Chain A
């Protein structure tokens, strides 16, 4: 196979690298899907629809929503009042792809506004509920029992592992997603962004900022985790007691 990739205009460049072998995992995914369709567990058309939807979602939608809320007070008020309806204004319809959402994305979203004295962070202690229409697929660490169990017990320690150390006067409120409601954090607009456009602002509103494990700031446009989180919970004795209001709400 040639390593070159030609275009209609005659230009040519090396083809993007690809994994050039068929793995058992790839074969397994196809095999079980085909059997499920043959058994009538779902249809091929349903699968195509959900796949296309999954390919279409990502955190950019949430970033746009936050940036618009920062620059448009009336829109922010609507976001806090009825977030699902406000999402439609930026082209996000929670009813997709079925007309009544997906089985994992209940059409009930609450956006949690941070203030100078209150910081929100979201989790799903039960499984991995996540506002997928706005943020896309959840990161793998969000799904781990490590994050889910420890955040509600020791939120400041877990946030510190993400590089986010909050002053003691800022209350940390952990909001637990559940089968009926999804949450997303509306962080505070950082200093130094005056006169920025919505597009500029959206660039610094990363996925982690909307989960609540990071804060937006000029120049920070990607989620990079500085600390490798422990695989196992640390013994209780190593944690300073946290006040009741800082535990899971």
Chain B
């Protein structure tokens, strides 16, 4: 398997639909007058990467190499940490750790939950 070409060239429809230049933290934070340089979910994302590595589901080096490839190709215009998030999910989908269909369903459920408050 040519992991590099797979990871670097194949776009994922779900993630393409989710990326939005106007909703990244570097755009939203100044719009709302927020000075925190990172979105509240960034630490959780880092912890998720650590957990995946600790369990052996996604070793650090493999994730970082794939992240580098994606950061220089499909997601090159996405700022951090959104780029890191998209790359992680991209890698997890490509490896079958989660499926696109279940992720679509879960995204709807999570959004409904968050907006219900």
Q: Which residues of A contact B (CB under 8 A)?
A: 17-36, 39, 41-42, 46-47, 50-51, 53-55, 98, 102-104, 126-128, 137, 140, 143, 145, 179
Q: Are A137 and B46 in contact (CB under 8 A)?
A: yes
CB pair A127 B60 closer than 8 Å: yes
Q: Do A47 and B47 have beta carbons less than 8 Å apart? A: yes
Write the chain A residue with the least CB distance to B113: A30
Q: Are A32 and B39 in contact (CB under 8 A)?
A: no
Whether the pair B54, A128 counts as a contact (CB closer than 8 A) is: no
| B51 and A41 contact, CB distance less than 8 A | yes
* B86 partner residues in chain A, CB cutoff 8 A: 28
Q: What residues on B are CB-neighbors of A21 within 8 Å?
A: 28
Q: Which residues of B contact A (CB under 8 A)?
A: 18, 20, 23-25, 28-29, 31-34, 39-41, 43-55, 57, 59-61, 64-65, 68, 71-72, 80, 82, 85-86, 88-89, 92, 97-98, 102-103, 106-107, 109-111, 114-115
* From B43, B85, B98, B107, contact of A36 by CB (8 A): B98
Contact A20 B110 (CB under 8 A): no
What is the CA–CA distance of A32 and B44 in the complex, to the nearest angstrom? 11
Q: How many A-B residue pairs have CB under 8 A?
A: 144
Contacts of A17 in B (CB 8 A): 32-34
Q: A29-B41, A41-B52 are in contact. Are A23 and B23 (CB under 8 A)?
A: yes
Docked Cα-Cα span, A32 to B106, in Å, equals 8
Question: What are the residues of chain B within 8 A of A104 when measuring CB–CB?
Answer: 49-50, 53, 60
Q: Which residues of B contact A19 (CB under 8 A)?
A: 25, 28-29, 31-32, 34, 39
Question: Shortest CB–CB separation between residue B37 and chain A, in angstroms?
Answer: 10
Using known A-B contacts A29-B41, A30-B110, determine if residue A47 contacts B85 with beta carbons closer than 8 Å: no
- Asked if B43 and A51 make an inter-chain contact with CB atoms under 8 angstroms apart, the answer reads yes
Q: Which residues of B contact A39 (CB under 8 A)?
A: 97-98
Q: In the complex the two chains form, is B114's CB within 8 Å of A42's CB? A: no
Q: Which residues of B contact A41 (CB under 8 A)?
A: 51-52, 55, 57, 97
Question: Distance (Å) between the CB of A197 and the closest chain B CB?
Answer: 29
Q: What are 16 residue pairs bridging A and B, where the CB atoms are less than 8 Å apart in the complex?
A: A17-B32, A24-B18, A24-B23, A25-B25, A26-B40, A29-B45, A29-B48, A32-B98, A33-B44, A35-B106, A36-B97, A102-B50, A104-B50, A104-B53, A143-B80, A145-B71
